[in-house]
């Protein structure tokens, strides 16, 4: 099957992945301790990531990006995510969601204005979740009221990744007071974060994921021009957002799969070094069972990742399979980091060892981009719809 999206030259991409693997091993992992202590990625590392083109992986080349296809993008996220999650978080909204929404639904002028900027490393945010609505789009309250020369936005967005230092946000807002079929009451707006009336709340304290920041975005009589409406068309915002969520879910699945591998590698190393009853605990069969089951789980997720990304590049609708991959990989990662803590034993509960950090960091993967339960409902809904259509 020929790919609808060939992406980067294969040899160039493999060279890039080798370079990124070295960068993760030699630069990012050694920097983790300082990032945990300061809860911040150093400016020099962000500059290096910009120079490597990590903020523009999926942007078309004419806008300064690398032009990666889905398989290449997700493999890059997988490679990067062996390191702590903050590194993926800082780039993923740009390339997985903001860029995807603009490519799918933006006007030519919007693409020309914003894609080069985010490809160069201007950080973007994605404003969908609200205090009273997450997965429930009908409950979305942020409003956009049309004026003679644009729109006025009011509302609050919650748990928005990168909000404290984003330069631009894609804001979902209600353009109809009535709930319309297919969520046509929701439109999307490109809002510069320095617009008058835009403010962010204090960065939320979290269970894990040091160096990655989330906060509220508050919009108070924010005036934007007509060119801010994504695609120049009312009622398309939610559809564009959902299309970009497929990429977001594959990104989270890839990140969870890579972090599970990091935890398992750590557990194997500890099991061979830690001795009990005069021999390494790696010799004990029940320790081996936990290691083996973790390897089996990770392999299954890696196979799902390869399959869903190949299908996406071939032009298939992967909504259901992207959701399935994200659910399996995030739940799998939870099992693996739990096993890692268990292999470490009492040391696994201590902050001086990596195991407890892996455990805390991984928990959000089952919530990001649609909780496991919401995605299970979505998968079932599509299964039943297909059944009834074919009956």
Integer Cα distance of 50 and 52 in angstroms: 5
Percent of the chain with pLDDT over 90: 79
Domain boundaries 10-122, CATH class = mainly alpha
The string of pLDDT tens digits covering residues 248-285 is: 899 999 999 999 999 999 999 999 999 999 999 999 99
- Out of 273, 295, 369, 386, the active site residue is 369
The string of pLDDT tens digits covering residues 369-389 is: 889 999 999 999 999 999 999
Q: How confident is the model at residue 104 (pLDDT cuts 50, 70, 90)?
A: confident
Integer Cα distance of 300 and 306 in angstroms: 10
- Whether 125-233 shares its CATH topology with 239-390 is answered no
CB 174 within 8 A of CB 141: yes
Q: Which CATH number fits domain 239-390: 3.30.470.20, 1.20.140.10, 3.30.300.30, 3.40.30.10?
A: 1.20.140.10
The string of pLDDT tens digits covering residues 300-348 is: 999 999 999 999 999 999 999 999 999 999 999 999 999 999 999 999 9
Confidence (pLDDT) at 247: 83
Confidence (pLDDT) at 3: 46
Does pLDDT of 4 surpass 70? Answer: no
CA 227 to chain centre: 27
Q: Provide the token pair at 43.
A: 């400016």
* Average pLDDT across the chain, whole number: 93
How many other CB atoms sit within 10 Å of the CB of residue 209? 22
Percent of the chain with pLDDT over 70: 98
- Domain segments of the chain as ranges: 10-122, 125-233, 239-390
Confidence (pLDDT) at 246: 81
369 is catalytic: yes
CB 322 within 8 A of CB 312: yes
Whether the full predicted model's pTM is greater than 0.75, yes or no, is: yes
125-233: CATH topology: Butyryl-CoA Dehydrogenase, subunit A; domain 2 (2.40.110)
Q: Provide the token pair at 58.
A: 């999926």
Confidence (pLDDT) at 302: 98
SS3 265: helix
Give me the mean pLDDT over the 198-206 stretch: 92
Among the listed residues 284, 153, 281, 261, the one whose alpha carbon sits nearest the alpha carbon of residue 217:
153
Helix (H) or strand (E) holding 222: strand 214-225
The string of pLDDT tens digits covering residues 28-41 is: 999 999 999 999 99
The string of pLDDT tens digits covering residues 113-165 is: 999 999 999 999 999 889 887 767 668 899 999 998 999 999 999 999 999 99
Confidence (pLDDT) at 137: 67
How many other CB atoms sit within 10 Å of the CB of residue 288? 13
């Amino acid at each position: 099957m020929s790919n609808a999206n060939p992406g980067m030259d294969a040899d160039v991409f493999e060279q890039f992945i080798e370079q990124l693997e070295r960068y993760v091993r030699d630069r990012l992992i050694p920097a983790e301790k300082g990032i945990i202590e300061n809860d911040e990625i150093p400016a020099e590392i962000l500059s290096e990531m910009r120079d490597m083109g990590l903020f523009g992986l999926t942007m078309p080349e004419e806008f300064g990006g690398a032009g990666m296809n889905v398989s290449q993008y997700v493999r890059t996220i997988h490679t990067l995510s062996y390191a702590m999650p903050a590194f993926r978080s800082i780039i993923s909204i740009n390339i997985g969601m903001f860029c995807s929404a603009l490519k799918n639904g933006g006007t030519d002028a919007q693409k020309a204005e914003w894609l080069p900027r985010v490809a160069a490393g201007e950080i973007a945010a994605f404003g969908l979740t609200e205090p009273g609505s997450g997965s429930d789009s009908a409950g979305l309250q942020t409003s956009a009221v049309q004026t003679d020369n644009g729109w006025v936005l009011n509302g609050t967005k919650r748990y928005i990744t990168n909000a404290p230092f984003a330069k631009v946000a894609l804001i979902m807002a209600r353009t109809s007071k009535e709930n319309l079929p297919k969520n046509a009451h929701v439109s999307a707006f490109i809002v510069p974060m320095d617009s008058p009336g835009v403010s962010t709340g204090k960065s939320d304290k979290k269970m894990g994921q040091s160096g990655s920041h989330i906060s509220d975005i508050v919009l108070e009589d924010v005036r934007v021009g007509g060119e801010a409406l994504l695609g120049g068309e009312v009622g398309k915002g939610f559809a564009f957002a959902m299309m970009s969520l497929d990429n977001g879910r594959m990104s989270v699945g890839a990140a969870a799969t890579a972090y599970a591998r990091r935890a398992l590698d750590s557990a194997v190393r500890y099991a061979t070094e830690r001795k009990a009853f005069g021999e390494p605990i790696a010799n004990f069969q029940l320790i081996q069972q936990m290691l083996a089951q973790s390897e089996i789980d990770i392999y299954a997720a890696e196979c799902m990742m390869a399959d869903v990304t190949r299908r996406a590049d071939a032009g298939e609708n992967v909504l259901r399979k992207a959701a399935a991959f994200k659910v399996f990989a995030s739940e799998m990662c939870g099992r693996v980091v739990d096993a890692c803590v268990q292999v470490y034993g009492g040391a696994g509960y201590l902050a001086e060892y990596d195991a407890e950090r892996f455990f805390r960091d991984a928990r959000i993967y089952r919530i990001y981009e649609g909780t496991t339960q919401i995605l299970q409902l979505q998968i079932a809904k599509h299964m039943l719809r297909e059944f009834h259509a074919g009956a």
